[in-house]
A and B are shown apart, each in its own frame.
Chain A
Amino acid sequence: MTMAYPNFLPSSAPNTVILYGQVTDPARLWDAMNTDIESLKPLSSQHAVISQNQDGLRLSSPGWGEFTFNERMTITKTSELYLLCKEKIMRGVSDFSLPLRQFLETYFDFVWAQTRKLQDEHRLPGAKNELFSGEDWVFSGWLPLPNAHILLSSAPDEPRAEFAEVDVIFSVDQHLIAVCLEGGATPLPSKQLKRRYLFDEHPTLDVISIPRERMAEGQFPADLFPLALTRYWEDLSYPHGPAPQKLVLQTPS
C-alpha cells in the first residue's frame, strides 16, 4: 500500500491540523467542519492548527476551553479554575479509554504540584494582593490534546481525509510531542502505516512512548519528556489565565 501524503508544513499552507477529543470518525468531523485550513481558527475545543512559528499551546491559550460566562464568573479560586480546565479536557476523552484518562490525571496533578513547588524553590512572580497569584502559573502548563488525529491528506481529489492517531499531542516551543501509551495491542496495518508516515515525515514531531509499567506507577513520567514540557514557565514574564479577557467583560444575554 502506498500513500502520497502532502507535506505537513508546505509553504502554501504552513500548518499541522489536529482534531482531538471525542473523535470517533475524524474524516466525517473534518467534512462537517467544511473549511479550508487557512480559514480555521488556531484553536477550538475540537481542533488545533499548529503553524510553523507558533510558540506552542498552553492551558492559557485562548479558544480550546469555550468557558461560559457563568463558569468564569462563579469561579473565584485558581484551583477551581484549574479543576475546570482539567474537567473540560477530560470530557473530551472516552470513559472507556482508561489508560489515557489516567495519563491525563497524572499530568494535571504533576503540573499543579510543579507549580506549587516552583513557588517555593524559584520564587516566581506572584504573591498575595498582586494582580495574579503564584498559582496562576499553572495555566502556563502545556495544553494536552487527547485522542489526537493529525491530518495527513486533504487533497480535493481524495475521497476522505486521512489521519494518523496518537494518544496525546503537546505543542511545545515550535515542536510537537506525540505521546503513545503502550498497551500491548497488536498494531493494525492501516493505523500503523499512517503513524509511521507521521513519525517519519513530520519535520517537528518527537515521539514519547510510555511503557505500561511506568503508567502503573501512578505518577506522571516526567523524566521521559523534554525539559521544555516540565519547565513551562520559562521564557514567560507573567502568567495568563485560560479565559480571554473579552469573555470576562461579556454580559449575559
Chain B
Amino acid sequence: MGEILSKNMTLIGQSDLAGFGGVGEGMALQLANDGRRILWIAHEGPPKNFSGVDVTDPRTCKVICQTELPNNNMRSNSLEVTGDIMAVAYQVYELGLPDAGIELFDISNPENPKSISKYSTAGPHSRGVHCLWYVDGEFVHMASGAPDFTPRHPRDDQIYQIIDVRNPSKPTEAGRWWYPGTREGDHEDPPERIIPEPLDQLRGGDAYRLHNANIYPSHPDRAYLGYIDGGAFILDISDKSNPEVVSHWSPHNPYPGFTHTVMPLFDRGLIIVTDECIKDDGADWPKLTWVLDARNEKNLVPISTLPLPPVEEYVKKGGRFGSHNVHENRPGPSFFSEEIIVGAFFNAGIRVYDLKNPYQPECIAYFIPPGPENSRVPAIQMNEVYVDENGVVYAGDRWAGGLYVMEMNI
C-alpha cells in the first residue's frame, strides 16, 4: 500500500460497499422524497447488481441497499436515474443468454427498489446492454445487441438503440443506428479492423460497436456516440426512427482505438472525446482524452489532449493507465461546467482539468489513492466519476476499493 497522491483534492468519505467494492461505469444521484441524497452505483460484475449509498452527509456514506443479479453469467455495468426511476443495463457473458436487456426500477423507496419492467434485447448474436443514458425521463439511449441484428463480426453486436420509456411499464424501441458495414447484409464494406484480435474473445477491443451515447435535453436533436474503434459520431436524431450521421471523427488508426465517451460543450463549440484504456501495464498506450473544435459540427478538428502524468512512471504501477470516462454534465443534481473537466484515469486517479484555454488544458487537481486491498492489481483503478451540484466528487475503483468521496479545492 502506498500513500495518497493529491493536489487540490481532499478525501472526505469512503465506502468499501459492504465488501463488494468493484464499481462499474454507472453512478447517478437521486434526491429522494424524504430529503435524502442517494448515490446509485453499478457494479463491475456479479454477484451484485447495484448498490444505493446514502450520501446526504458525504462524509458518512452508508450503504442502504444492495441487490443481487439473477445469475453470475451477467453484469450490470451501467445505470442512470431520473426522478424516482432507475434504468439498469444487463449484459450477459455469452451470446444468446436470456437476461440481456434493461430493467426499470421504481426507487421511490430507496431501501426497496421495485421492478417496473424489463426490456429484453436477448438474441442469438446479442450480449445485451453495456451502457445506457437516461436523463430526460422519456428515452433510454443504449449500446445493445438486438434479437434481429446479426453483426458481421461477433464483437460488433452492440448498436445504438433508442427506447421509449414514457410509459415505463411498456418500453418500446423508437429507433436504432449502427456503423455502416457492420451488419450482415449491409451494402457497405465492413470496416477495417484497427488491431485485430481472436474472434472467440467476446470482451475487449477490436470492435465497431457503441459504448456511450450522450443526448442532452438542451439539444434533443443530437446524439453524441463513442463507437469504440469507429471513433466519434454526431447523429441527427430529430427523427428518432431514422438517425442520420452529421459528422464523424476518428483517430484510429494510428491511435489504438476504443472511443468511450463523446461529450459536447455547447457554449464552447468543443467536444471531449475519451479513448478508454483496456489493457494493463501500458499495453495499449496511449489512450488519450481529446479536445475537438466543434464550432463547425460537420468538421471536427482535434486541438489538444488532456495532459497525463509520465507514462514511464505510471505503466509500472500496475493495472490500466490512461483515459476512461468523464463526468458528463448530465441534468439533475450534477456539477455542470464547460471549463472544468473531471475524469477517471485508472491508476492516474481522478484528475481535474481547466479548459479555459482549450489549446492548452491544464491539470489543476488530482487524487490518486493507494491500491486497495484485495484488488487484482496493485494500483488504484478509477473506473467511474460523478460530481454533484455542490462540487463533491464521487469515484469508484474497478476491482475492490469501492466508493471514494472527495472535495475539490479549486
User: A: which residues have CB within 8 A of B?
Assistant: 24, 94-99, 183-186, 188-190
Which 10 pairs of residues, A with B, have the shortest CB-CB distance?
Answer: A24-B357, A96-B268, A186-B335, A185-B337, A186-B336, A98-B267, A99-B267, A96-B358, A98-B269, A183-B267
CB distance from B58 to the nearest CB of A (A): 16
Q: Are B410 and A188 in contact (CB under 8 A)?
A: yes
Which residues in A have their C-beta under 8 angstroms from that of B391?
Answer: 186, 188-189
CB distance from B278 to the nearest CB of A (A): 31
Q: Are A190 and B335 in contact (CB under 8 A)?
A: no
Which residues in A have their C-beta under 8 angstroms from that of B269?
Answer: 95-96, 98
Q: Are B357 and A184 in contact (CB under 8 A)?
A: no
A125 to B409, CA, bound (A): 56
Q: B356: CB under 8 A from chain A?
A: yes
13 residue pairs of the A-B complex, CB under 8 angstroms, read: A24-B360, A95-B293, A96-B269, A96-B358, A98-B266, A99-B267, A184-B336, A185-B336, A185-B338, A185-B339, A186-B337, A188-B391, A188-B410
Interface residues of B in 329-365 (CB under 8 A from A): 335-340, 356-358, 360
Q: Can you list, as one digit per residue, whether each of B356-391 has a CB less than 8 Å from chain A (1) or not (0)?
A: 111010000000000000000000000000000101
Q: A184-B336, A188-B337 are in contact. List 20 more A-B contacts (CB 8 A).
A: A24-B356, A94-B357, A95-B293, A96-B268, A96-B269, A96-B293, A96-B295, A97-B267, A97-B268, A98-B267, A98-B268, A98-B269, A98-B295, A99-B267, A185-B337, A185-B338, A186-B336, A186-B391, A188-B340, A190-B410
Q: Can you list, as one digit per residue, whether each of B65-85 has a CB less than 8 Å from chain A (1) or not (0)?
A: 000000000000000000000
* Main DSSP-derived SS at the B contact region: loop
Q: B210: CB under 8 A from chain A?
A: no
Instruction: Across the interface, name the chain B residue whose C-beta is closest to A147.
Output: B356
Instruction: Across the interface, name the chain A residue whose C-beta is closest to B295.
Output: A95
A189 to B10, CA, bound (A): 15
Instruction: Across the interface, name the chain A residue whose C-beta is closest to B357.
Output: A24
Which residues in B have their C-beta under 8 angstroms from that of A94?
Answer: 357
Which residues in A have their C-beta under 8 angstroms from that of B268?
Answer: 96-98
Which residues in B have their C-beta under 8 angstroms from that of A184?
Answer: 336
Which residues in B have their C-beta under 8 angstroms from that of A95?
Answer: 269, 293, 295
A185 to B329, CA, bound (A): 10
Q: B270: CB under 8 A from chain A?
A: yes
Residue from A96, A185, A186 whose CB has the most chain B CB atoms within 10 Å:
A96
Which residues in A have their C-beta under 8 angstroms from that of B409?
Answer: 189
A186 touches which of B356, B357, B389 (Cβ 8 Å): B389
Using A183-B338, A186-B391 as known contacts, say yes or no to A96 and B270 having CB atoms under 8 A apart. yes
Which residues in B have their C-beta under 8 angstroms from that of A185?
Answer: 336-339
Q: Are A189 and B410 in contact (CB under 8 A)?
A: yes
A24 to B360, CA, bound (A): 10
A95 to B266, CA, bound (A): 13
Which residues in B have their C-beta under 8 angstroms from that of A190?
Answer: 410
CB distance from B7 to the nearest CB of A (A): 14
A143 to B293, CA, bound (A): 29
Interface residues of B in 192-230 (CB under 8 A from A): none
Residue from A97, A99, A185, A186 whose CB has the most chain B CB atoms within 10 Å:
A186
Which residues in A have their C-beta under 8 angstroms from that of B389?
Answer: 186
A99 to B295, CA, bound (A): 13
A190 to B409, CA, bound (A): 8
A190 to B295, CA, bound (A): 29
Which residues in B have their C-beta under 8 angstroms from that of A188?
Answer: 337, 340, 391, 410
A98 to B293, CA, bound (A): 12
Which residues in B have their C-beta under 8 angstroms from that of A24?
Answer: 356-357, 360
A253 to B338, CA, bound (A): 46
Instruction: Across the interface, name the chain B residue whose C-beta is closest to A1.
Output: B409
CB distance from B402 to the nearest CB of A (A): 25
Q: Can you list, as one digit per residue, whether each of B244-277 has a CB less than 8 Å from chain A (1) or not (0)?
A: 0000000000000000000000111110000000
CB distance from A187 to the nearest CB of B (A): 9
A37 to B21, CA, bound (A): 57
CB distance from B390 to the nearest CB of A (A): 8
Instruction: Across the interface, name the chain A residue whose C-beta is closest to B358.
Output: A96
Which residues in B have their C-beta under 8 angstroms from that of A99?
Answer: 267
A111 to B340, CA, bound (A): 34
A141 to B293, CA, bound (A): 33
A94 to B295, CA, bound (A): 12
A189 to B335, CA, bound (A): 13
Instruction: Across the interface, name the chain B residue whose C-beta is closest to A183.
Output: B267
A48 to B229, CA, bound (A): 50
A94 to B303, CA, bound (A): 14
A97 to B338, CA, bound (A): 10
